[in-house]
Structure 1
């Protein structure tokens, strides 16, 4: 049997991502009514990643997290037919968002958790050295306190 550390730490096999999401979609995700997040582009991150949810202004805080189950990159027409309803978006808004690109990404979400104590933007800046991302960012080891927030 190996020697155990006196200071156990959490380890993550997959990265943790911080996403900016408009407030009307944040509520739907946290209430389990929206289980697909759409993006024009998305890196090579995929299933197993944890996604921290930053609610845009006027809330301006990390309000919870969810798990990324899978990422599906598809032509726009197929993306709409497969995931439009689950993404809780109108076809007009969907087409406007994806205007000018041939394909997009459906990020399939599971197990949303709402934080009892959200992390406000001013705390993100002062404590974690982060601004609200334009779309999303990959968090680093330097952001461990933010990554571990409300993990028990």
Structure 2
């Protein structure tokens, strides 16, 4: 199972360069069979730019999560604290192998009336068939 994540361009750049090895989330997927995250780079890019394997999902308090992940956060402590302000639990997706798509994909070419997810969108076999042509070539 895959999920599509909306990620800001500066964070995408840090993921692609290997500087960011944790993708932080306020909530994560209920499904436990998610193994790959597809990266939708938010505006002004507005493209599906790649995917990464999810090595682990870490749940902890924000302070403890920072202690465990700061070395590969790709963000400042101030940004981290602001993002998790008021949260009891914090999550980090540990990023494994990253694959950049060339060319980057306009999601509107794959899905009619595409709307980027606020947090994430499951991409199961049915959705995968809907997105079929271009993504299937990339996933094979």
* Short-chain TM bin: 0.7 to 0.9
Aligned to 1:38: 24
CA contact (8 A) 1:124 1:131 kept: no
Tell me the residue number matched to 2:138.
150
TM-score by length of 1: 0.81
Query: 1:98 aligned to 2:78?
Result: no
Q: How many residues align?
A: 136
The Cα shift of 1:35 comes to: 1.0
SS in 2 for 1:94: helix
Shift of residue 87 of structure 1?
1.5
The 3-state SS of whatever aligns with 2:6 is strand
Q: Could you tell me how far 1:121 is from its partner in structure 2?
A: 3.6
CA RMSD of aligned residues (A): 1.8
User: Which sections of structure 2, spanning at least 5 residues, go unmatched?
Assistant: none
Cα displacement (A) at 1:122: 2.6
TM-score, L = length of structure 2? 0.87
Asked if 2 retains the 8 angstrom alpha-carbon contact of 1:46 and 1:69, the reply is no
Q: Which runs of 5+ in 1 are unaligned?
A: 1-14
Residue 64 of structure 1 corresponds to 50
How far apart in 2 are the matches of 1:102 and 1:149?
41
Where do residues 1-150 of structure 1 align in structure 2 (5 Å cutoff)? 15-46=1-32, 49-126=35-112, 130-144=114-128, 145=132, 148-150=136-138
* Higher relative contact order, chain-length normalized (CA < 8 Å, sep 6+): 2
- Between structure 1 and structure 2, the one with the greater Rg is 1
Aligned mates of 1:57, 1:51 — CA distance in 2: 18
* Alignment check: 8 A CA contact 1:35 1:110 kept: yes
Q: Quick check: which one's helix share is greater?
A: 2
